[in-house]
Structure 1
Amino acid sequence: MVLPTVTFSNGHKMPMFGLGTYLSQPGEVEEAVKYAIDTGYRHIDTASFYGNEKEVGIAIREKIKEGVITRDDVFVTTKLWSNAHKESQVVPTCKKSLDNLGLEFIDLYLIHWPFAFKEGEELLPRDASGKLQLSDTDYIDTWKGMEECKRLGLARSIGISNFNSEQITRILTAATIKPVNNQIEMSLNVNQEPLIEFCKKHDITVTGYSPLGRPGNRYGVKNSWDHATIQSLSKKYSKTPAQIACRYVFQMGAAPIPKSITKERIKENFNIFDFALTDEEIKSIQSISTGERVAEMKEAKESIHYPFNIPY
C-alpha cells in the first residue's frame, strides 16, 4: 500500500501516518520500529527527550541494510528539547541527534516546546526545592538556530511542536525560513480544528501526536473509547476504537503518529485506509471532545511562552 503524503511548502513530502516512540522503553523500541517498517510504516517520530534516538536509528539503518527501504523511503522526525534553546546550542544539539540516529540528515526537525528550560545537560533542571528551572530564552532566537540547521543540510525541513496561533504568528513574522509543520496533541478528546485551520491558512502542515489518548496515562485522562458514539462507529465499520481515533485525526487533516511497541497493535493502528468517516460522524466525534490533554507540561505554566493559555 502506498501511504498518502502531504507536501510541505518547501516541496518535501511527509507520509500522513507514522509511528510514535514516546515512552517506548530501551530494548523495545528497536524491534517496534523494525516491525513497523516491515508493516509499511514510512514515518518514524522520535525526540532527543525520549532517549531512544540511538535505537530508532539502529532499526532504520538495519532495514536499509536489508534492502527493505532506502534512506529516501523513510521519513524521520526528531526534536530539539527545551534545555537547548539558545541560538548557539541548536546546531550542536541537532548534530548530536544525527550522531545518535546514525543518519546524514533529519527529514523534519522540530522545536519540541515554545518554552525554554535552564540550559545544560539536565533535561528537566530543578532547583533545591524540586521546582523546574525555566529560562527566558525566546523561541525566536531558537528559530534562528533551526534555520541554520536547514541551511547546513542537517535537516531537510524544520518546524515546531505545541505552538499556539499567536506563537506561530510571531515565528512567521521573524522567520527567513518558515516552519513547514506544527506537531500537536490531537485525539478524540482534543479537537484541534481551529488550530489546524489556522495552520492550513499559513501553509503549515500538522502532525497529531497521542491520537490514542495515551491509554493508561498517569493523569487519569480517559480516551473516550468507551463512549457510545465511538462504540457505534467501531461496530459499523468493524474497526477498533483506536482505528476510529486514528482515522478521525487523519480526516481532520493531521498525520496521526500512534505509539505502540506491540506488533498486533502496530499493524492494527496502520489499518485505517480502507474506510472513511462521514462528515456527520466527524461532527459527532467532535461533539464528545473533552479538551483534556495528556501532554500539558503544567510545570512550565509560569513561562511567558507557555502555549495553552489561549484557546488555540
Structure 2
Amino acid sequence: MISITARVNRVSLSRKSFIAPRNLCSCTRATRATSYTLNTGVKIPSLGFGRFRDPDSQGDTVSQALRKGMRLIDTARVYDVEEQVGKGIKKSGVPREEIFLGTKLWCSDYHPDGVERALDDSLRELDTPYVDLLLMHYPCTFKRGSDQFPRDADGRIIHGETTFVDTWKAMEKMTKTGRVKGIGVSNFSQGEIQTLLNETSTPGLGHELITFQDPCRSPDGSSSLLATERIQQMAKGQGNPRRPVQPARKYERFLSADWVVQGSCAYDARIDQPILKEIGDKYGKSAVQVVLAWGINSGRSVIPKSVVDWQIEQNLEADFELQPKDMS
C-alpha cells in the first residue's frame, strides 16, 4: 500500500453495529469516515470499493455498497465491468457528485491517438460525463487495437511503439476537457514514476498498487511494501506536501484461497496470522478489518473487493483508530 501525503479529515459517523461471523469482544471502536484532500482540492475517501470481473454481480453490489455508505468506486477498462458499474451507480440513487469514481486505461489503448477514444468508451459505459481519476494500469504499452492482449505467433505479447510518457502527455490533455478530474498511475516502480516527474508537467494525483498481506519480494530482496514506502518518500520530496500517492488496493481472497498467483510471483494472501487476531480481539474487529484499518491509519486509502453482503458491511466498519503500538 502507498501513503497519501495530503490533509486528512476524519469524521466519526454512527453506523449500525455489525458482528462478523467470528468471535469478537465487545470493546468496539467508533467507525470514522476518513478522507484525504488531493492536490486539486478534491476529497478522496480512505475506504473504497474495488470492482474486478464478476460482471453479473456488479450492478447489485455497487448499488448496495453505495447505499450502505461507500463513496469511492474503483474499476478498470480491462475488467470489462464498466457498464455494470455504471448501472449500479444509477440504481443506488446516490448523486454522482458524492461519488469518487476511478477507472484505468488499458495497455492496448496507450497510443496517444487512442487515449481520448478509450476515455470516451469508458465514460459511455460508466454512463457518466466525467471520472474523478484516470490511471494508467501498467507501465507497459501493447500494440494498439481491439485485442487487449495482442500476441505474436510464439505467444509473446506484442508491445506498442510509444512509451508511457507519451500516454501521460495525452492524458494531461484530457484533464483540460472536464471529462477527467485527475490522472495517475498504477503498478509503476519508483524509477518509472521519477521518469514521469522528469519528463512531464502534471504531477499525478495518485499511484495504485496491488498489495497483499505477505507481499512478494522485489528483485533486490526487499518487500514490495518497503518499495512503496520509498515511493512515498520520493513523493514527499517533490516540494508539494499535499501531493498524494493514490490509494492502495487490497485484493484479499480471504475466504476461498490461501495463495494468489499473478505472473511469476505467488502472493501469500492469508490473513490468519496470530498477531492480526490478537489485535482484532482487542478492538472487537476481524483480522481483515485490522489490515484495512492499518492502511487507513498509515495515511493510505484501501480498496477491498467483495460481492458478499457481510464482507461489505465489515469493510465499512474498518475505518477506526489503531493505537500507535498496534501500528508498528
Same fold (TM over 0.5): yes
More helix by share: 1
Partners of 2:129 and 2:179 within 8 A in 1: yes
Aligned to 1:88: 113
Partners of 1:193 and 1:252 within 8 A in 2: no
- For residues 35-56 of structure 1, the C-alpha deviation after alignment (integer angstroms, 9 at most, x for no partner) is 1001100010010010000000
Q: TM-score, normalised by structure 2?
A: 0.80
Question: Percent of aligned pairs with the same residue?
Answer: 27
Paired amino acid for 2:252: L
Residue 110 in structure 1 maps to residue 135 in structure 2: yes
1:206 to 225, 246, 263: 246
Aligned to 2:34: 4
Paired amino acid for 1:63: S
Q: Cα offset for 1:29?
A: 1.1
Aligned to 1:135: 160
Aligned to 1:165: 190
Aligned to 1:15: 45
Q: TM-score, normalised by structure 1?
A: 0.83
- For residues 62-110 of structure 1, the C-alpha deviation after alignment (integer angstroms, 9 at most, x for no partner) is 223xxxx211101100010001111111111001100010100011011
Q: Structure 2 CA distance, aligned partners of 1:84 and 1:125?
A: 12
1:287-306 correspondence runs (5 A): none
Q: Structure 1 CA distance, aligned partners of 2:156 and 2:290?
A: 39
Q: Cα offset for 1:213?
A: 6.1
Partners of 2:184 and 2:207 within 8 A in 1: yes
Aligned to 1:39: 68
Aligned to 2:312: 266
Aligned to 2:5: none
Partners of 2:213 and 2:268 within 8 A in 1: no
Partners of 1:126 and 1:133 within 8 A in 2: yes
- For residues 241-294 of structure 1, the C-alpha deviation after alignment (integer angstroms, 9 at most, x for no partner) is 111111112122211000000111011111012x322333222xxxxxxxxxxx
Q: Which moved more, 1:8-17 or 1:105-114?
A: 8-17
Partners of 1:211 and 1:245 within 8 A in 2: no
Partners of 2:111 and 2:160 within 8 A in 1: no
Partners of 1:15 and 1:255 within 8 A in 2: yes
Partners of 1:33 and 1:56 within 8 A in 2: yes
Q: Cα offset for 1:229?
A: 1.4
Residue 180 in structure 1 maps to residue 183 in structure 2: no
Q: Structure 1 CA distance, aligned partners of 2:41 and 2:237?
A: 17
Q: How many residue pairs get matched? A: 277
Q: Structure 2 CA distance, aligned partners of 1:182 and 1:194?
A: 13
Paired amino acid for 1:19: F
Paired amino acid for 2:58: V
Q: Structure 2 CA distance, aligned partners of 1:97 and 1:54?
A: 8
Partners of 2:134 and 2:184 within 8 A in 1: yes
Residue 281 in structure 1 maps to residue 309 in structure 2: no
Partners of 2:64 and 2:92 within 8 A in 1: no
Q: Cα offset for 1:112?
A: 0.7
Q: Structure 2 CA distance, aligned partners of 1:7 and 1:256?
A: 15
Paired amino acid for 2:245: T
- For residues 144-175 of structure 1, the C-alpha deviation after alignment (integer angstroms, 9 at most, x for no partner) is 11111111111011111111221111111222
Partners of 1:224 and 1:230 within 8 A in 2: no
Q: Structure 1 CA distance, aligned partners of 2:79 and 2:276?
A: 31
Paired amino acid for 1:21: R
Q: Structure 1 CA distance, aligned partners of 2:308 and 2:253?
A: 17
**Given the superposition, is the C-alpha separation of residues 187 and 252 from structure 1 closer, same or farther in structure 2, using an over 3 Å criterion?**
farther
1:196 to 229, 232, 236: 232
Q: Structure 1 CA distance, aligned partners of 2:252 and 2:324?
A: 21
2:84 to 55, 61, 68: 55
Q: Structure 2 CA distance, aligned partners of 1:281 and 1:196?
A: 21
Q: Structure 2 CA distance, aligned partners of 1:125 and 1:280?
A: 49
Partners of 2:260 and 2:268 within 8 A in 1: no
Paired amino acid for 2:288: A
Partners of 2:212 and 2:268 within 8 A in 1: no
1:223-242 correspondence runs (5 A): 223-242=269-288
Structure 2 unaligned residues grouped into runs of 5+: 1-12, 14-31, 216-224
- For residues 192-244 of structure 1, the C-alpha deviation after alignment (integer angstroms, 9 at most, x for no partner) is 32223333444233211125367625425322411121121122222111111
